Amino acid sequence: MSAQKKKAFQIEAFKHRVVVDPKYAEKTWKILEHAIHEIYNHNASGLSFEELYRNAYNMVLHKFGEKLYSGLVTTMTSHLKEISNSIEAAQGGLFLDELNRKWAEHNKALQMIRDILMYMDRTFIPNTHKTPVHELGLNLWRDVIIHSHAIQSRLQAILLENVRRERSGEVIDRGLMRSITKMLMDLGPSVYQDDFEKHFLEVSADFYRLESQEFIESCDCGEYLKKAERRLNEEIERVSHYLDTRSEVKITNVVETEMIESHMHRLVQMENSGLINMIVDEKYEDLGRMYCLFRRVSNGLVLIRDVMTSYIRDTGKQLLTDPERLKDPVDFVQHLLDLKDKYDKIITSAFRNDKTFQNALNSSFEYFINLNSRSPEFISLFVDDKLRKGLRGVTEEDVELLLDKVMMLFRYLQEKDVFEKYYKQHLAKRLLSGKSVSDDAERSLIVKLKTECGYQFTSKLEGMFTDMKTSQDTMQGFHASHGSDIGDGPMLSVQVLTTGSWPTQPITTCKLPAEILGICEKFRNYYLGTHTGRRLSWQTNMGTADLKATFGKGQKHELNVSTYQMCVLMLFNDADRLSYKEIEQVTEIPTFDLKRCLQSLACVKGKNVLRKEPMSKDIVDTDTFLFNDKYTSKFFKVKIGTVAAQRESESENQETRQRVEEDRKPQIEAAIVRIMKARRVLDHNNIVAEVTKQLQSRFLPNPVVIKKRIESLIEREFLERDKGDRKLYRYLA
Amino acid sequence: MKRKDTVKLISADEMEFIIDKDAAMVSQTIGGFAEMELGEVTFPEISAVILEKICQYFYWALQYSRGKETEFHIEPELTLELMMAPNYLHT
């Protein structure tokens, strides 16, 4: 390289003119200034760009960049002042048009100028940290024109006026608006914001404040929401057509605040058309609209949710404390299910399945279902009704649907153990009277309960089903071995129940007729022959019998009756007329049951196989009963049983409650012991909390009861109190 | 030769070089000149020798950008003047 340098050291004369001429700069500048004029006067075609470029290049190269630059600034400024005047002169509607046109021209000119002065842009400007040509052009435009006193305010006013006109339905030149806003954007985001957007938002806020006030005075909730939605969509569309996209969120905010947020409460509470009315009238579209709109403002949905929740709670509470409703449990539960369905539908179709709403609904239901302590019983009765007859002819899918809904109500119950008790009772009756519509449905529900509550809950229920099956097998065996013996005697069918699985029944006295006793004994011997070590006792209050009866004119009927009723009726084989006392004496049936039994035999229309004297509705000790010769019925088979599950009377209810309470005590104790064994030492409040937590899937334990149980455990030396702190307990191994 | 896709570059000593438009566009400055529309640009301050080298450079640059990586040889006598031209032409 160095060798080469030496060789090429003969510097040839510079082909470029070496400038000594001070006027050179002036001359060159004049050429360029002239060019700029021509460009602004639309005479660019006559120029040679190469020449101009070269001139600018030379000026910069020879250190006249400063002159070039300041010359540019001056020239451009003066041109822009001219333009500014012409724009100001424009009248009315032509103002925007003129502004737009001049802007386009300016841009074109600027580009050409920039091209010519590219060398300066590349070298001189970065070195001196001056504003590049293009940016300079924009800044000058901004300062001279947009921010000129006369133009600035006029521009703003016209833009806002256009928006206002469009809002009242007029058609405006959107393309022009777009160009203008784009121009503002190009000049710099702060220009757009300060000169236009800020005022646009203010004016819009005022506009909507007024309009919303008007609307809310004159429209009902649904209409108002429609209008609000329409305005909102309008604004969004407006932005997409001729505003900067970043304005969208700002203007929608304005609309949301003015039209929705300010009037939220009033809308929701509006009489005859507010939220509650929409729910009651199932106006899904309106509700959906409300949801979408309110979602946009903070606390909008919270408001809807709260109002809805308190309404649900109130209606629920009303339903649960309405004595009329409570008379028919099946209807009552159906009502609950319908209520749940209704709200589910609202949440899915109008509220987009919003989880928070679902949760609110669930907690409301949980709240009011547990307000009535008889809810568990009623739900069980509902299921009982369905499994007896309600599900006849229903498809398998619908059965599953219904059972799932029932399970859902079950989940809301706090006192699941009460439900268990009733369910067992009702199931027992269904099984024993053979009245269950569908075995599959029964089993399906058991499975669901097992999934929900665990094996413990359903083990006894399953035991009941097992007993039924086993009894069938036993009967087969019995008939096979003793079939010949029976001959003309009564046909016996026995269900053997394992005591633990079935609801405990009080052992009642009842003297069976002789004919029956015989075969019963035969069975007992047979059974005990195959199962030694067991004890059998006849449950006379749970059986049924089919009797063939012949009446006065020879009409025969087959009567399906309870065991008690059978005992009573068999007496009339030997006598036509019996007094209450006589019947009582012979049959030894308990008074309450006997009275009910006689009532169903003598006082029910269509089933009065007995006649009572006197003909009053109630049974008293002094009544006499006669065989009703004149009894007629359309049907050959007549059912007179009284075994259907019924809503308990108050006293029965009390009894069951008591039994439930008794059952709870050992469960609480077991929980306490379990906890103490693990923790060794624990204070009172924590024990109560832990016990509650452990048992909450079955029932809500009463803290007072827990305390009593703790004390009982202390007495029995499972636990002891700490010597120092009375509130602390210790586990005794 | 298609008229539309070529431009004519004229040197100070009135030598004419006809090259493809693509090649000319390598220089951003030439690309910006309005004379491009007319199809010819005059460079009163660039000699033919230099302008020739510049045209060669344009083609070489195109080739290089398409993957053919060769060397561009510059005769040492030309280097001085050749330095000014790119500065002027922004190449």
pLDDT (tens digit per residue) in A440-465: 888 889 999 999 888 888 888 888 88
Q: How far apart are CA A552 and CA A546, in angstroms?
A: 19
pLDDT, average across residues A197-206? 93
Percent of chain A's residues with pLDDT above 70: 95
pLDDT reported for residue B77: 79
We report the CATH number of the domain holding residue A68 as: 1.20.1310.10
Is B8 within the bounds of a domain?
yes
Q: What is the pTM of this model?
A: 0.73
State how far residue A99 is from chain B, nearest Cα, in angstroms.
Answer: 27
- Whether residues A54 and B47 touch (CB distance < 8 A) is answered with no
The distance of B32 to chain A (nearest Cα, Å) reads 6
Residue A453 lies in a domain: no
Q: Is the pLDDT of residue A622 over 70?
A: yes
A114-125 mean pLDDT: 85
Same domain, residue pair A96 and A164? no
Q: Model confidence at A205, in pLDDT bands (50, 70, 90)?
A: very high
Residue A4 has pLDDT above 50, yes or no: no
Asked if A12 has any chain B CB less than 8 Å from its own CB, the reply is: yes
Nearest beta carbon to residue B90 from set A16, A49, A122: A122
Give the tens place of pLDDT for each residue, A311-332.
999 988 888 888 887 888 888 8
Is A301 a member of any domain? no
Domain total in chain B? 1
Report the first-to-last Cα separation within chain A, whole angstroms: 102
A48 contacts on B by Cβ (under 8 Å): 35, 42
- Per the structure, the complete domain to which residue B26 belongs is given by 4-82
What confidence category does residue A5 fall into, taking pLDDT thresholds of 50, 70 and 90?
very low
Residue A137: inside a domain: no
Burial annotation A674-706 (CB, 10 A radius, 16+ → b, else e): ebbeeeeebebeebbebbbebbeebbebeeeeb
Say if residue A584's pLDDT is above 70.
Answer: yes
CA distances from A729 to A462, A647, A684, A688, A712 (A): 39, 44, 7, 12, 13
Residue of A nearest to B89 (CA): A119
Sign of CA dihedral A78, A83, A84, A88: positive
Q: pLDDT grade, residue A484 (50/70/90)? A: low
Mutate to test the interface with B, among A1, A42, A49 (most CBs of B within 10 A): A49
pLDDT at A394: 80
- Where residue A518 falls among pLDDT bands split at 50, 70, 90? confident
Asked if A118 and B43 come within 8 Å (Cβ–Cβ), the reply is no
Look at residue A487 in the predicted model and tell me its pLDDT.
64
A556-562 and A544-550 as β-strands: parallel, antiparallel, unpaired?
Answer: antiparallel
Residues of chain A with pLDDT > 90: what percent? Answer: 23
pLDDT at position A165 is 92
Residues of B in contact with A119 (CB under 8 A): 29, 88, 90
Least confident of A181-190, A424-433, A648-657, A689-698: A648-657
- Among residues A498, A521, A610, the alpha carbon closest in space to that of A559 is found at A610
Task: Tell me if A8 and B79 make a contact (CB, 8 A cut-off).
Answer: yes
Q: Looking at the partner chain, which of B29, B45, B90 has a beta carbon nearest the beta carbon of A16?
A: B45
Sequence-ordered alpha helix ranges (H) in A90-220 = 94-116, 118-119, 125-128, 133-140, 149-167, 174-187, 189-191, 198-218
Given a cut of 50, whether residue A642 has pLDDT beyond it is yes
- A371-398 pLDDT, tens digit per residue, is 888 889 999 999 888 888 777 778 888 8
Count structural domains, chain A: 5
- Report the alpha-carbon distance of residue A384 to residue A390 in Å, rounded: 9
Is residue A13 very low, low, confident or very high in pLDDT (cuts 50, 70, 90)? low
Q: pLDDT digits over A122-161, tens only?
A: 888 888 888 888 999 999 999 888 888 888 888 899 999 9
**Looking at residue B57, which CATH number applies to its domain?**
3.30.710.10
Contacts of B37 in chain A (CB under 8 A): none
Task: Please report whether residue B24 resides in a domain.
Answer: yes
Instruction: Tally helices (H) and strands (E) across chain A.
Output: 33, 9
Chain A residues within an 8 Å CB radius of B84: 16
Q: Model confidence at B35, in pLDDT bands (50, 70, 90)?
A: low
**Is residue B87 situated within a structural domain?**
no
A51/A246: higher pLDDT:
A246
Q: Is A118 on the interface with B (CB under 8 A)?
A: yes
Q: Which residues span the domain enclosing A105?
A: 23-131
Task: Output the six-digit token pair for A352.
Answer: 């987009």
End of a domain among A505, A530, A555? A530
Question: What pLDDT, on the 0 to 100 scale, is given for residue B1?
Answer: 45
**Residue A124 pLDDT:** 86
Q: What is the mean pLDDT of chain A?
A: 86
Asked if pLDDT for residue A233 goes beyond 90, the answer is yes
Distance (Å, rounded) from C-alpha A42 to C-alpha A67? Answer: 25
Final residue of a structural domain among A208, A233, A268 = A268
| Residue A314 in domain | no
CB pair distance less than 8 Å for B90 and A8: no
CA–CA distances in Å: residue A181 to residues A143, A171, A470: 17, 18, 88
pLDDT digits (tens, 9 = 90+) for A521-541: 888 888 888 888 888 888 887
Evaluate whether residue A275 is within a structural domain.
no
Chain-chain contact of B33 with A47 (C-beta, under 8 angstroms): no
Are B45 and A15 inside 8 Å of each other by CB? yes
Indicate whether B57 belongs to any domain.
Answer: yes
Question: Residue A386 domain-assigned?
Answer: no
Residues 6+ apart with CB under 8 A from B3: B39
pLDDT, one tens digit per residue, over A257-315 is: 999 999 989 888 888 888 999 988 988 999 999 999 999 998 889 999 999 999 999 98
> Model confidence over A333-349: pLDDT tens digits?
898 899 999 999 999 99
Q: For residue A478, what pLDDT is reported? A: 85
Q: Determine what percent of chain B is predicted with pLDDT higher than 90.
A: 0
A50 lies within 8 A of chain B by CB: yes
From A42-46, A136-140, A381-385, B61-65, the region with the lowest mean pLDDT: A42-46
Average pLDDT over residues A552-581: 85
pLDDT band at residue A17 under the 50/70/90 scheme = low
So what's the pLDDT on residue A22?
66
Q: Do B80 and A12 touch (CB under 8 A)?
A: yes
Asked whether residue A425 carries a pLDDT value surpassing 90, the answer given is: no
> Chain A residue closest to B84 (CA)?
A16
**Does B91 map to a domain?**
no
Going by pLDDT thresholds of 50, 70 and 90, the confidence category of residue B28 is: confident
Distance CA A332, CA A369 (A): 11
* Residues with Cβ within 8 Å of residue A548, at least 6 apart in sequence: A556, A557, A558, A559
Q: What is the mean pLDDT of residues A27-46?
A: 84
Chain B residue nearest residue A117, CA to CA: B29
Residue from A135, A188, A126, A181 nearest A158 by CA: A181
- Who has greater pLDDT, A43 or A113? A113
A604 & A667 share domain? no
Confidence of residue A203 (pLDDT cuts 50, 70, 90): very high
Please give the residue of chain A at the shortest CA–CA distance from B47.
Answer: A15
| Phi, psi angles (nearest 5°) of residue A683 | -90, 165
Q: Which of B10, B88, B89, B91 best probes binding to A when mutated, by most A CB atoms within 10 angstroms? A: B88
Q: How far apart are CA A494 and CA A427, in angstroms?
A: 18
